[in-house]
A and B are shown apart, each in its own frame.
Chain A
Amino acid sequence: MRLSNFHFEQVAAILRKDFLIGLRRRATFAAMMMFALTAVASLSLSTGGAFVEPKFLAALLWVVIFFAASAGIAGTFDDEAQAGTLPTLKLYADAQAILFGKMLYVFLSLTMLTIFILPIFLILFDVAVESFLLLSLTILFGLIGIAAAGTLTAAITTSAMVKGGLFPILLFPITLPIFLPAITLTEQSFTGGAFDVSSLIVVAAFDAILILASSILYDYL
């Protein structure tokens, strides 16, 4: 990662610009939030208050986050490509600054998504969380990884002619090393008791690798 001070200014400018546009064109945010809400509502309605095992609940939570994230971040680069602003941005900003500006924006959007959907999920499924610290850490590390992999995947799918469904297909296999431990950790945060520190370390290490790999590979796109 070759980021100088100058690049940090660029990253901040791009992040600020994306937020401004995100707030003015609320469609993407709204779609992501509503997707998550619809998914949680439909799952909750269909289980109808029956007891659902914590392991299954943990998996449901991550499935909802994954697909809502896919709906929300697939257009990270594509929206700009459609609007014709991507070439301008690429000319005036450093490639690494674009990648990290977008990655931060994706991460913050996903954080907002989770802040919105998590309480609803916990209430509708009547989940008692034993360890909020573990749940927060798991979600934090999970979202960092999804943001890193998702941003590069969004850059990859921008050039595809057929886009329907392509984004989640590409993103899922490369985020599996996050989901599998994250689901176990989330379950442990619901049930309490001892948790598996090494799983948390694995997720953090994979996050670091994804960020580094995205940085290196983005230059080739």
Chain B
Amino acid sequence: MNKILILLTFAIGAAIIFFVPPIKGLGEVAKIIFFHVPTAWVSVIAFFASAYFAAKFLRTFNFSFDRLSERAARLGFVFVLLSTISGAIFSKLTWGAYWNWDPRQTTIFVLILIYGAYLTLRAAVSDEKTRAKVSAVYSLLSVLTVPFLVFIIPRMYFSLHPSPVLNSSGRVEMDSIVLVVLIAAVVDATLIFIQLMRREIS
């Protein structure tokens, strides 16, 4: 599985560099979008995975679920940082500023705060049983904010987000090859995440 993933990742990397046409007017660096979208996707998946395992833990008091919940949060934190940085670079290229509190930037920033708070809480509680309980409770409490933020944030901040930049006609056309590579990259990142989670179980 590991070998296949490494191969797949290299293949996608090569496809991005050699086959995907440069995005009009943005240059080669803009291809960082192929890194940004998958990492953003995984950081959201990891967030829900962490909450899911937290709920499983509270129902069963099986500590392996607590470890999975923690692992998902740690991985999610790494992915959300990578995604934020790559997103900021893409933002600089497209809108001329690294940060402008676009709705999705705001959402991802909140995700960083929640991940950070969760990991700080884990570090602050020394007793293993208590740590598992309180972090699971916090994880489930924080997941409740997501639907509200998704509803609230776009009404509060003006959006310039890429999804129109990438597909609305007239600006940048999304070739079928771009689409295929992007989907492959998302699948690849998800598989990498799952593989990293499975290392914990074994």
Verify whether A and B have any Cβ pair under 8 Å: yes
> What residues make up the interface of A, taking CB atoms closer than 8 Å to B?
149, 152-153, 156-157, 159-163, 166, 169-170, 172-174, 176-177, 180-181, 184, 199, 202, 205-206, 209-210, 213-214, 217, 220-221
State in angstroms the CA–CA spacing of A199 and B152 once bound together. Answer: 8
Asked if B78 CB lies within 8 Å of chain A CBs, one says no
What 10 additional pairs, Cβ within 8 angstroms, besides A161-B125, A199-B152? A149-B141, A156-B134, A159-B127, A174-B114, A174-B142, A176-B145, A209-B144, A213-B140, A217-B141, A220-B133
B197 touches A (CB below 8 Å): no
Check B178 for interface membership: any CB of A closer than 8 A: no
CB of B159 within 8 Å of the partner chain: no
A214, chain B: closest CB distance, angstroms: 8
Pair A152/B141 contact, Cβ less than 8 Å? yes
Complex Cα–Cα for A170 and B142 (A)? 9
Contact between chains at A220 and B137 (CB < 8 Å): yes
Instruction: Report Cα–Cα, A176/B142, bound state, in Å.
Output: 10
Say whether, besides A159-B127, A173-B117, A206-B148, A217 and B156 are in contact (CB < 8 Å): no
Best-buried of B125, B131, B153 by chain A (most CB within 10 Å): B125
With A and B bound together, what is the CA distance between A149 and B58 in angstroms? 19
User: Could you tell me which residues of chain B, from 93 to 121, have a CB within 8 Å of some CB in chain A?
Assistant: 110, 113-114, 116-117, 120-121
Q: Which of B49-108 contact A (CB under 8 A)?
A: 58
How far, in angstroms, from A101 to B48 measured CA to CA in the complex? 32
Report chain B residues within 8 Å CB of A163: 124
Complex-state Cα separation, A205 to B144, whole angstroms: 12
| Majority secondary structure, A binding face | helix
Expressed in whole angstroms, the Cα–Cα distance for A180 and B103 within the complex equals 12
Residues of A within 8 A of B142 (CB): 173-174
Cα A170 to Cα B133 with chains together (Å): 15
In the complex formed, the residue of A with least CB distance to B150 is A177
Which chain B residues numbered 172 to 197 have a C-beta less than 8 Å away from chain A? Answer: none
B149 at the interface (CB under 8 A from A): yes
**B contacts with A, residue count (CB < 8 A):** 32
Q: A159-B130, A173-B110, A177-B149 are in contact. Are A210 and B117 (CB under 8 A)?
A: no
Cβ contact within 8 Å between A156 and B110: no
B126 within 8 Å of A (CB atoms): yes
B138 within 8 Å of A by Cβ? Answer: yes
Q: Which chain A residue lies CB-closest to B59?
A: A220
Question: B148 to chain A: which residues have CB within 8 Å?
Answer: 177, 202, 205-206
A160 touches B121 (CB 8 A): yes
What's the nearest-Cβ distance from chain B to residue A11, in Å? Answer: 21
In the assembled complex, the CB of B92 is this many whole angstroms from the nearest CB of chain A, namely 25
Give A170's nearest chain B residue, CB to CB. Answer: B117
Given A173-B114, A177-B152, A181-B152, answer yes or no on A162-B141 (Cβ-Cβ < 8 Å): no
Q: Which residues of A contact B156 (CB under 8 A)?
A: 180-181, 184
Whether A180 lies near B152 (C-beta < 8 A) is yes
- Residues of chain A contacted by B145 (CB below 8 angstroms): 173-174, 176-177
Q: Does B151 contact A (CB under 8 A)?
A: yes
Report whether B137 and A156 are in contact in the complex, using a CB–CB cutoff of 8 Å. yes
- The residue among B120, B127, B153 with the most chain A CB atoms within 10 A of its own CB is B120
Instruction: Give Cα distance in the complex from A130 to B135, angstroms.
Output: 43
For the complex, what is the distance from the CA of A202 to the CA of B140, rounded to whole Å? Answer: 20
* B40 at interface by CB-CB < 8 Å: no
